[in-house]
Amino acid sequence: MEKYIKSANFADTGFSYTMSLISGKHKMVILYCLMEYEPVRFNEMKRYLGTITDKTLSSNLKELEADRLIVRKEYPQIPPKVEYSLSERGKSLMKVLDQLCIWGEENRLTAMI
């Protein structure tokens, strides 16, 4: 049975869904940071990312939390303390992102030759 592109719709694919969750300049880096160093506080994340505004980081963290990829834990103390970590769903996505890292390491050096 042949597949016809006429009836195909990219928006209906798992790939499209995954990309919608991690698209943007910072989301994959945020997830990678949490994979390596969790739990991470807001200012630690900001230092790790370098040039990112508070508003952009806050927005990205809220979106990742809404997509259930990260967990925000707030401690009832003064001054306020908030930590971010990967959810179980986020950890399952890291298997895929880890493969991207491996591919990048294997191919980064050969691209320089």
Give the number of domains in the chain: 1
Determine the residue type at 34: L
pLDDT digits (tens, 9 = 90+) for 78-107: 888 999 999 999 999 998 888 888 888 888
Give domain status of residue 9, yes or no.
Answer: no
Q: What is the pTM of this model?
A: 0.84
Q: What is the pLDDT of residue 105?
A: 87
Give domain status of residue 102, yes or no.
Answer: yes
Domain CATH code at residue 77: 1.10.10.10
Q: What is the pLDDT of residue 15?
A: 87
Give domain status of residue 104, yes or no.
Answer: yes
* Run of H or E including 81: strand 81-86
pLDDT digits (tens, 9 = 90+) for 33-82: 999 998 999 999 999 999 899 999 999 999 999 999 999 999 999 888 99
Q: Is the pLDDT of residue 111 over 90?
A: no
Name the residue range of residue 95's domain. Answer: 26-112
Residue 30: C-alpha distances to residues 48, 64, 67, 106 (Å): 9, 9, 14, 22
Q: Is the pLDDT of residue 1 over 70?
A: no
Give domain status of residue 56, yes or no.
Answer: yes
In contact, 39 and 84? CB cutoff 8 Å: yes
Identify any residues that bridge with 41 across adjacent strands, giving them in sequence order: 83
Query: Which one, of 38, 68, 71, 41, lies nearest residue 57 by Cα?
Result: 41
Q: What is the pLDDT of residue 7?
A: 78
User: Is 55 buried (19+), middle (13-18) or exposed (0-12) by CB count in 10 A?
Assistant: exposed
Q: Which structure tokens are listed for 109?
A: 């050096």
